[in-house]
Amino acid sequence: MSPKPIAPNPSIARLIEEGFEIEIKHQHLLVHSIPYLNQAGELTLGTLTCPYTEMGEQDTRPNDHTFWLRGEHPHMASGQPMHHVVNHSNQQTLFDQFVGHHYLSNKADDQPPGNFYDKVTHYHTLFVSQARVKFPNADGRTNVVHAQRDENSVFKYPDTASSRAGITAITQRLEVTKVAIVGVGGTGGYILDLIAKTPVREIHLFDQDDFEAHNAFRAPGAASFDELRAKMKKVEYFKEAYDPMRWGIVPHPYHLDKSNLHELDGFDFVFIAVDRGSARRALTDYLCQVNVPFIDVGMGITRIEDEVGAPSLLGKCRVTLATADKHDHLGRSLDFQDDDQEALYRSNIQVADMNAINAAIAVLRWKQHMSFYLDQELAHSLNFTINLQSLARSERGAPVENA
């Protein structure tokens, strides 16, 4: 017999030791083979599930006292429905086609559970006590062993935000295989920061430049002086920066040009965050040719003076989406001219906020494209102007059926 897997959480370890069928999947605790009576008085088995947070060997407290039950409606030995346990039966998809059929809400001694062991055994007792009236040997402690880690997760610790909010099934829409970010300077770095917190399996970074002091002031997080002295490539710096959180960040310390654009073949999506029009044209033309959807971002900062000569900065940023079905707007939306090497936004380090806004709009638009967020406007080009505090849509795609 295979040895039982190690479960650092004391409650989970105790449940496994006592023979419960415990599984951790998509930041949810699953307890399989819970016996109870159905409407016909027959013995049936169901699965209990609830959001689960694990913090190493700490015995964490559950979010609340509720469970979802996958299975038939549970009944008492008398034949009456267990209304004191079932709050409602409005089924809900919790994750990965896992449907909870009945929402359970019952407290032991009118107190919330202090740990997951108490929570599981309370509901087990509620169901088994009724089942044993007719089936004396009914027991959920089967000693069947399940894997205790979600081996498919890209994260090194659980995404408890999704499970707590009950949006794990929606978050799974972002589980694509490969996304590329071409250019991880100011805006590209913030795109990475947001995409790294989604379940994309691989995030490929393309940039040949070194990570220098001026980059540190336009990048998420805080680089140490030792990291700056190391003269790391930008892509290597960002890989190490996000390594404590997740797997799957793949650095490519070189630029993409006509000789190697084929490396983007087969990507699910590409973010383009380059500042040269000629590079933008080569990338967008190729991605349209191979039908890889992408978002191109652009930003401009201009120094202006008011009527008394006081200087200030005028900032604009753009986000443009292109898909296999809609890319005829690129010639109207994108600037294919090479910028001045001394463009103000490159040399001025105090524009990280504009980089972050540009990246946030881009990632929001990608999430709409992936049906994570509702998309009613189908905008394919958006322009934000700081002085007007305005986000304007300049291109709109055709309606998509069943979107």
* Per-residue pLDDT tens over the stretch 104-125: 999 998 899 999 999 999 999 9
Q: What is the pLDDT of residue 150?
A: 58
How far is residue 325's CA from residue 318's CA, in Å, rounded to a whole number? 21
Give the residues across from 105 on adjacent strands. 66
Contact 239, 251 (CB under 8 A): yes
How far is residue 375's CA from residue 22's CA, in Å, rounded to a whole number? 38
CATH of range 176-396; options 3.90.870.40, 3.40.605.10, 3.40.50.720, 3.30.1490.20? 3.40.50.720
User: Can you give 200-224 as a three-state secondary structure string?
Assistant: CCEEEEECCCECCHHHHCCCCCCCC
Q: What is the pLDDT of residue 80?
A: 96
Q: What is the pLDDT of residue 183?
A: 95
Report strand pairing: 269-272 vs 66-70.
unpaired
How far is CA 237 from its chain centroid?
22
Q: What is the pLDDT of residue 5?
A: 44
Q: What is the pLDDT of residue 6?
A: 45
Q: What is the pLDDT of residue 303?
A: 82
How far is residue 280's CA from residue 175's CA, in Å, rounded to a whole number? 27
Where in the chain are the domains?
10-154, 176-396
pLDDT in tens, the chain (403 residues): 333 444 568 898 899 889 999 988 888 999 999 999 999 999 999 999 999 877 667 788 898 999 999 999 999 999 999 999 999 999 999 987 789 999 999 999 889 999 999 999 999 999 999 999 999 999 999 988 776 555 567 887 766 666 566 677 788 889 899 999 999 988 999 999 999 999 999 999 999 999 988 888 888 999 999 988 889 999 999 999 999 999 999 999 999 999 999 999 999 999 999 988 889 999 999 999 999 999 999 988 888 887 777 888 888 999 999 999 999 999 888 888 876 655 655 555 568 899 999 999 999 999 999 999 999 888 899 999 888 888 888 777 654 333 2
| Helices (H), ranges, 255-397 | 277-289, 330-333, 344-347, 352-369
> Could you give the dihedral angle defined by the CA atoms of residues 154, 158, 164 and 167, in that order, rounded to the nearest 10 degrees?
10
Q: What is the pLDDT of residue 311?
A: 86
